[in-house]
């Protein structure tokens, strides 16, 4: 009998080893892992460069308090700002913490402008920003909040794609709009570029902030460093996590200068956030992601994968409703029986994970090989054939 709380519906399988795109089960079976810890292991399992960075730093110093300077974090923050819209970075340990810190930064921004009443955050209904109390109410999902009241106030919602409703929902009390550029848990729904541009314009007109949650879509997953870059806009605040640690827990909030002004000494903190061990692993992840052709290769593999999946959709129009995604954040929307489809993929040694709206989510490591994509396509086709 397991002593673990029952908050996860775990599959009856465990792994003793991982290497690149593959996981090896305790029964000795090799699986193609296109879950990768849900978009966490950006460079695959047991990446030699990350192993080296972890070992090297573990022999120096793991953790010191943020009461002291941390050069490894200084370096990571400098690289994140040099390569993005941001001027400042605040390190956390997870995505939910990062989205909460983003909300805090937005509220403080208006507080310092003598507008403390401007504190409400406008989000997409049934989006996903994490599982802490504020984050579940930000997500606007009935299922996630059930039993966890009283409601955390300060969040309003609009339906995905409904710009008129969005405009109507903005009041004098609105501080920011917060959206995922690709709704990951919500079913790999990509916000089109024209829409992100419109969001930026609305925020400018209403003099409110734009928060883009890149926890799942960020750090190369979309084929650009950030998914919003395709639209050419600049947000004010961007929470990140998942891919930046390559499997090690790291979260962060990236901010422009005007927002970061509110983050004065004592305004926010984290015991573990930004520790030297995490920071060196983050630096080792960036060493790879920022290589000259790395992101171009993600884009190339994405196109190849999506094109091939669309051909499979054509061959099995009664099984697959839609193929969608950005970069290597890919969703196959089925008409029905999503769990059975995922189970059958697993029986054929391909690991995938669900998302809302009957979507099978496919998240290979960003350095996936073409031959591994081909291997997965063969399995997906076989399972479609059995449906």
Ligand X SMILES: Cc1ncc(COP(=O)(O)O)c(C=O)c1O
Closest separation between CB of residue 217 and ligand X, Å?
A: 7
| Part of the chain binding ligand X (CB under 6 A), chosen from 76-84, 106-114, 177-185, 307-315 | 177-185
Closest separation between CB of residue 80 and ligand X, Å?
A: 17
Closest separation between CB of residue 243 and ligand X, Å?
A: 11
Q: Which is nearer to ligand X, 105 or 320 (CB)?
A: 105
| Part of the chain binding ligand X (CB under 6 A), chosen from 209-217, 221-229, 285-293, 315-323 | 209-217
Query: Are 330 and 188 in contact, with CB atoms under 8 Å apart?
Result: yes
Q: For the packed helices 370-386 and 294-315, what is the interaxial angle rounded to 10 degrees? A: 20
Q: Which is nearer to ligand X, 139 or 320 (CB)?
A: 139
197: Cβ contacts below 8 Å, ≥ 6 apart: 231, 232, 233
| Part of the chain binding ligand X (CB under 6 A), chosen from 21-29, 208-216, 221-229, 373-381 | 208-216
Q: Which residue from 242, 246, 245 is spatially nearest to 274, judged by alpha carbons? A: 245
Closest separation between CB of residue 180 and ligand X, Å?
A: 4
- What is the number of the residue whose Cβ is closest to ligand X? 95
Taking the CA atoms of residue 154, residue 231, residue 250 and residue 3 in that order, the dihedral angle to the nearest 10 degrees is: 70
Q: What are phi and psi of 29, to 5 degrees?
A: -95, 140
Where does residue 261 rank: exposed (0-12), middle (13-18), buried (19+ CB within 10 A)? middle
Question: One symbol per residue from 234 to 263: x for binding ligand X (CB under 6 A), - otherwise; what is it?
Answer: -------x----------------------
Q: What are phi and psi of 202, to 5 degrees?
A: -60, -45
Query: 239 has which bridge partners?
Result: 253
Assess 372 for contact with ligand X (CB under 6 A): no
Q: Side-chain half-sphere of 310: how many Cα atoms within 13 Å?
A: 8
SS3 61: coil
- Integer Cα distance of 228 and 38 in angstroms: 20
Q: Which is nearer to ligand X, 244 or 383 (CB)?
A: 244
| Part of the chain binding ligand X (CB under 6 A), chosen from 74-82, 198-206, 212-220, 369-377 | 212-220
- Integer Cα distance of 129 and 137 in angstroms: 9
Assess 129 for contact with ligand X (CB under 6 A): yes
Closest separation between CB of residue 46 and ligand X, Å?
A: 21
Residue list 49-108, contact with ligand X (CB under 6 A): 94-96, 99
| Paired sense of beta strands 30-33 and 350-351, if any | parallel
Assess 187 for contact with ligand X (CB under 6 A): no
SS3 227: helix
Closest separation between CB of residue 251 and ligand X, Å?
A: 6
Catalogue the long-range contacts made by 17-26 (C-beta closer than 8 Å, 24 or more residues apart).
17/45, 17/46, 18/44, 18/45, 18/46, 19/44, 19/45, 19/46, 20/44, 20/45, 20/46, 20/47, 20/365, 20/367, 21/45, 21/364, 21/365, 21/368, 21/369, 21/372, 23/351
> Under rule CB under 6 A, how many of the chain's residues touch ligand X?
14
Q: Which is nearer to ligand X, 94 or 119 (CB)?
A: 94
Assess 226 for contact with ligand X (CB under 6 A): no
| Part of the chain binding ligand X (CB under 6 A), chosen from 2-10, 106-114, 122-130, 161-169 | 122-130
If DSSP states are collapsed to H, E and C, what string results for 73-101? HHHHHHHHHHCCCCCEEEEECCHHHHHHH
Q: Which is nearer to ligand X, 66 or 132 (CB)?
A: 132
Closest separation between CB of residue 299 and ligand X, Å?
A: 21
Question: One symbol per residue from 305 to 344: x for binding ligand X (CB under 6 A), - otherwise; what is it?
Answer: ----------------------------------------
Closest separation between CB of residue 292 and ligand X, Å?
A: 28
Assess 213 for contact with ligand X (CB under 6 A): yes
Interacting residues toward ligand X by CB under 6 A: 94-96, 99, 128-130, 180, 184-185, 213, 215-216, 241
């Amino acid at each position: 009998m397991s002593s673990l709380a029952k908050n996860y519906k775990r599959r009856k399988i465990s792994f003793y080893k991982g290497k690149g795109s593959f996981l090896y089960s305790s029964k000795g079976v090799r699986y193609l892992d296109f879950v990768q810890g849900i978009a966490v292991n950006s460079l695959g399992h047991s990446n030699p460069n990350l192993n080296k960075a972890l070992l090297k730093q573990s022999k120096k110093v793991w953790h010191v308090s943020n009461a002291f300077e941390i050069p490894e974090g200084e370096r990571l923050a400098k690289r994140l700002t040099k390569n993005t819209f941001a001027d400042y970075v605040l390190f956390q340990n997870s995505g939910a913490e990062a989205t909460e810190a983003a909300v805090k930064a937005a509220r403080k921004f208006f507080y310092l402008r003598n507008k403390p009443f401007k504190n409400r955050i406008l989000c997409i209904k049934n989006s996903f920003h994490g599982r802490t109390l504020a984050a579940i109410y930000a997500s606007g999902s009935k299922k996630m909040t059930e039993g966890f009241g009283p409601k955390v106030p300060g969040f309003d919602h609009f339906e995905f794609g409904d710009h008129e409703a969005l405009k109507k929902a903005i009041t004098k009390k609105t501080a920011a709009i917060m959206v995922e550029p690709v709704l990951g848990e919500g079913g790999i729904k990509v916000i089109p570029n024209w829409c992100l541009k419109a969001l930026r314009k609305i925020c400018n007109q209403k003099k409110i902030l734009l928060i883009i949650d890149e926890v799942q879509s960020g750090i190369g997953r979309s084929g650009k460093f950030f998914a919003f870059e395709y639209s050419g806009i600049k947000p004010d605040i961007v929470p990140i996590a998942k891919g930046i640690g390559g499997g090690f827990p790291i979260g962060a909030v990236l901010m422009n200068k005007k927002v970061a002004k509110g983050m004065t000494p004592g305004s926010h903190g984290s015991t573990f956030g930004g520790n030297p061990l995490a920071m060196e692993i983050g630096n080792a992840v960036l060493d790879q992601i920022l290589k000259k052709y790395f992101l171009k290769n993600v884009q190339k593999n994405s196109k190849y994968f999506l094109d091939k999946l669309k051909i499979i959709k054509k061959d099995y129009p009664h099984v697959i409703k839609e193929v969608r995604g950005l970069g290597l954040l890919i969703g196959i929307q089925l008409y029905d029986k999503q769990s059975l489809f995922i189970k059958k993929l697993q029986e054929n040694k391909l690991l995938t994970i669900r998302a809302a709206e009957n979507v099978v989510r496919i998240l290979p490591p960003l350095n996936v090989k073409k031959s591994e994509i081909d291997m997965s396509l063969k399995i997906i086709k076989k399972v479609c054939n059995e449906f």
